[in-house]
Amino acid sequence: MSKKLIELNNISKSYGSHIVLDEFDLYIKENEFVTLLGPSGCGKTTTLRIIGGFETPDTGNVLFDGTDITNMPPNKRQLNTVFQKYALFTHMNIEDNIAFGLKIKGKSDKYIRDKIEYALRLVNLEGFGKRMPDSLSGGQQQRVAIARAIVNEPKVLLLDEPLGALDLKLRQDMQYELIRLKEELGITFVYVTHDQEEALTMSDTIVVMNQGYIQQIGTPEDIYNEPENAFVADFIGDSNIIDGIMLQDELVMFLGAKFACVDTGFGTNKPVDVVIRPEDVILTPPERGVINGVVTHLIFKGVHYEMEVKAGGYEWLVHSTTMFPVGAEVGIQVDPFNIQIMNKPASEDEEAVPLEE
């Protein structure tokens, strides 16, 4: 187990009457790729800005390598940030942008020259040193912003939705670039995004946030396969979230039918949320289904077909490589280990909110 590098203890932050973070605790381990994931307004960017020193929390403290840095100004902190929309210095060429931090620290010309060359090579921008930021594409500017941050050899790199302004193909390329950089540099990345695919692709650990609270912390696999509540299930990928009753261990009833599952310890006759991923719904001929329904929508998505099936009074979302035409009678089956049982949310805050994407 590597040691804790950053600790956030009991952080609260509000703007006026709007509470952004409420008694927030989080630690980030050395050499970890941590992603703060959540819808806009969930407090993820505020958390990053508190770590970077651009916001001061109302209560609580921030520890960096065991030292309290809560009130330390950003220019004294041993971490660097890659900002949303890059925030390059438009009056300087690429070299001067990259050299900015090193010149402030009074490094020698030779050291700075070597570092610029190294950084440009690292982000595949050799030969761009004399260009001005305005003459570069979005993806190139993004890589300059990363180069400008990493030449300072920070212990932690903070990234605030760095790929948000790029188109899909470029974003995917940059995701691989970032993973490669992380491997090469061996530093801790704290990454903020609202894009769940991005989070699943790159992270060692994902922190799912909503309305200033942490909903779940875990590996991408944990978060995807074992969401702890309906919000996480809904936010991470598509899900069928159905009201159900846990009749006894390993048996759940929903939509009027009994399904075998693998969850235990919920008690008997307990109301629960049942989460089933669309790719885990198995469509069968009607006579073999646990419940039966009718296909109402069909879209070809390339890798799979996306279908909506009306069954038991619920619109099931189904991803399948087998196509059933609209109007077809189908049966639905789910393997027991693909049924995820969750307690109903205890408080309003954890209630799954519809997302506008």
3-state secondary structure of 277: coil
- Answer yes or no whether residue 105 interacts with another protein by CB under 8 A: yes
Q: Which stretch binds another protein (CB under 8 A): 74-82, 183-191, 202-210, 338-346?
A: 74-82
- Answer yes or no whether residue 93 interacts with another protein by CB under 8 A: no
- Answer yes or no whether residue 52 interacts with another protein by CB under 8 A: yes
Q: What single letter denotes the amino acid at residue 201? A: T
How far CA 319 is from CA of 238, 254, 308, 322, in Å, comes to: 10, 20, 9, 9
How far CA 314 is from CA of 63, 122, 257, in Å, comes to: 48, 51, 12
Query: Which residues are paired to 239 by β-bridges?
Result: none
- Answer yes or no whether residue 162 interacts with another protein by CB under 8 A: no
> What is the rounded CA–CA span in Å between residue 315 and residue 33?
37
Between the CA atoms of 79, 218, 50 and 354, what dihedral angle is there, to the nearest 10 degrees?
A: 140
- Answer yes or no whether residue 74 interacts with another protein by CB under 8 A: yes
Q: Which stretch binds another protein (CB under 8 A): 58-66, 87-95, 266-274, 276-284?
A: 87-95
3-state SS of the chain: helix, strand, coil percent to 5? 30, 35, 35
- Answer yes or no whether residue 83 interacts with another protein by CB under 8 A: yes
> What is the rounded CA–CA span in Å between residue 102 and residue 91?
18
Question: Which of 2, 66, 91, 183 lies at the binding interface for another protein (CB under 8 A)?
Answer: 91
Residue nearer to another protein on the CB measure, 105 or 310: 105
Question: Which of 38, 43, 57, 101 lies at the binding interface for another protein (CB under 8 A)?
Answer: 101
**Whole-number minimum distance, CB 93 to another protein, in Å?**
13
Residue nearer to another protein on the CB measure, 81 or 210: 81
- Answer yes or no whether residue 53 interacts with another protein by CB under 8 A: yes
> What is the rounded CA–CA span in Å between residue 214 and residue 44?
10
> What is the rounded CA–CA span in Å between residue 37 and residue 193?
5
Residue nearer to another protein on the CB measure, 185 or 217: 185
In the range 113-152, which residues lie near another protein by CB under 8 A? Answer: 148-149, 152
In the range 283-302, which residues lie near another protein by CB under 8 A? Answer: none
Binding site for another protein (CB under 8 A): 52-54, 73-75, 80-81, 83-85, 87-91, 100-101, 104-105, 148-149, 152
